[in-house]
Amino acid sequence: MDLQLLVTIFPQVLLDGILLGFMYALIALGYTMVYGVLEFINFAHSEIFIVGAFVGVEILLGLKSAGLLEAIPWLPVLLLVLVAGMAASGLLAVSIERIAYRPLRHAPRLIPLISAIGVSFFLQDAIRLFESIWRNAFNLVYPTLDVLNRRYDLTSTIDIPLKSVVVIAAALLMLWALWALVNRTKIGTAIRAVAEDQAAASLMGINVNRIISLTFLIGGAMGGAAGVLFGVQYSLVNPYTGFIPGLKAFTAAVLGGIGNIPGAMVGGLVLGLLEAFAASYLSLLTGGAFGAEYKDIFAFSVLILILIFRPKGLLGEVVRERA
């Protein structure tokens, strides 16, 4: 075992883990918000997330073919793409709720979950169908913005590309904004009231349906933003890419305590770090017997262990147990 190597790559692995963690945190917000209000796992969130990535790649490719990509500075381009991705994903989430979940609101618990799985599968192939007709290809690559790939040396052994800085900054900003929205505004109070008790909230003059739609809008928008950032960071998207990150993000949400916004961030970071370290160190530590392929197993084992030993997550569940 090469101890020297382990130490040398440590900071880089840490950085990768943090990056991955923020990505999971952003996706986890969508799960956490919806679960907080409806106590329901929005299985289709992974596709809401990947739709954001696809809207982003379509706009960037459109700009590129119009020759505008190099002409405009990178920040407006990125903002435009982010806003478009957020809008698309948010609206998609709201319409999914309208069509597939609202009619089932008073059905037994498993019914909306099954419907959500159906929506998720439908969307995967719907994206594929659309891209197959539109571009005759459904594995798309984000056009590179040269500025974003510029790397900054932190020390002699680690460097960080600008895009990673952007991803982390955007994630932190959005997490803070969402936290402020939920805890500091009137809308946030309404959301928390609906999560607490729908009937009582509606007696207090809160339009429950509108608040639920709003929750889906916000969660979906966060997912869309995560999708765009995912695309910028990892470049390759296809309609089925969203599924595994979605599952991991859900794990992160449970890990941090579902329904809990700071919890989503903590859970995301812990999971991201665990995974990054598993991916780089597992094969080194076991002498090549187990490689990076086992990182997914790692994530799922964490989920199972958490659910068994600390089902309310690291920071505690905000949702009250429904009888």
Partner 1 sequence: MTHAAASIALLALGGAAVWIYPRSILAFLVFQCALLAIYVARVPWWLRAALLAFGLLVMMPVIGGRNGYYLEVATQVCIFAALALGLNIVVGLAGLLDLGYVAFFAVGAYTWAIVGSPHGNVIFGGGFPLPAWMFYVFLLVGLLVAAITGVLLGLPVLRLRGDYLAIVTLGFGEVIRVLANNLDKPINITNGPKGLTPISRPPLPYFVEYNQGFYFLVLLIVIVVILVNRRLEDSHIGRAWEAMREDELAAQAMGVPLVRSKLLAFACGASFAGVMGVVFSAKQIFINPESFTFLESIGVLAMVILGGMGSIPGAVVGATVVTVLNIQVLKGLSLWLNELKNAGTTILGYNLANLPTQLEPAKYERMVFGIILVVMMIVRPQGLFPARRRQRELAHLGEGTPPAAPPS
Does residue 113 interact with partner 1 by CB under 8 A? yes
Write down the least CB distance from residue 114 to partner 1, Å.
6
Does residue 284 interact with partner 1 by CB under 8 A? no
Cα gap 82→295, rounded to integer Å: 29
Binding residues with partner 1: total (CB under 8 A) = 51
User: Do the bridges between strand 151-153 and strand 159-161 make them parallel or antiparallel, or are there none, so unpaired?
Assistant: antiparallel
Phi-psi region of 39 (alpha: psi -120 to 50; beta: other; left: phi over 0): left
Question: 197 Cβ partners below 8 Å, 6+ apart?
Answer: none
Write down the least CB distance from residue 135 to partner 1, Å.
8
Tokens of 4: 């020297």
Stretch that binds partner 1, among 59-67, 117-125, 166-174, 181-189 (CB under 8 A): 117-125
Does residue 285 interact with partner 1 by CB under 8 A? no
Does residue 91 interact with partner 1 by CB under 8 A? no
Does residue 62 interact with partner 1 by CB under 8 A? no
Which residue, 157 or 301, is less far from partner 1 as judged by CB? Answer: 301
Binding mask 193-232 for partner 1 (x = CB under 8 A): ----------------------------------------
Does residue 129 interact with partner 1 by CB under 8 A? yes
Does residue 152 interact with partner 1 by CB under 8 A? no
Does residue 1 interact with partner 1 by CB under 8 A? no
Cα gap 107→158, rounded to integer Å: 53
User: Do the bridges between strand 140-141 and strand 151-153 make them parallel or antiparallel, or are there none, so unpaired?
Assistant: unpaired
Does residue 123 interact with partner 1 by CB under 8 A? yes
Cα gap 186→166, rounded to integer Å: 30
Cα gap 12→23, rounded to integer Å: 17
Does residue 94 interact with partner 1 by CB under 8 A? no
Does residue 110 interact with partner 1 by CB under 8 A? yes
Helix axes 162-184, 186-196, angle to 10 degrees: 70
Write down the least CB distance from residue 130 to partner 1, Å.
11
For 211, what's the count of Cα atoms within 13 Å in the CB-facing half-sphere?
25
3-state secondary structure at position 85: helix
For residue 299, give the nearest of 280, 281, 276, 315 by alpha carbon: 276
Does residue 315 interact with partner 1 by CB under 8 A? no
Write down the least CB distance from residue 293 to partner 1, Å.
5
Does residue 51 interact with partner 1 by CB under 8 A? no
DSSP letter string over 165-201? Answer: HHHHHHHHHHHHHHHHHHHHSHHHHHHHHHHH-HHHH
CA–centroid distance for 228 within its chain = 10
Does residue 49 interact with partner 1 by CB under 8 A? no
- Residues near partner 1 (CB under 8 A) are 40-41, 100, 103-104, 107, 109-115, 117-126, 128-129, 131-133, 136-138, 243, 247, 250-251, 254, 288-291, 293-294, 296-297, 300-301, 303-304, 307-308, 311
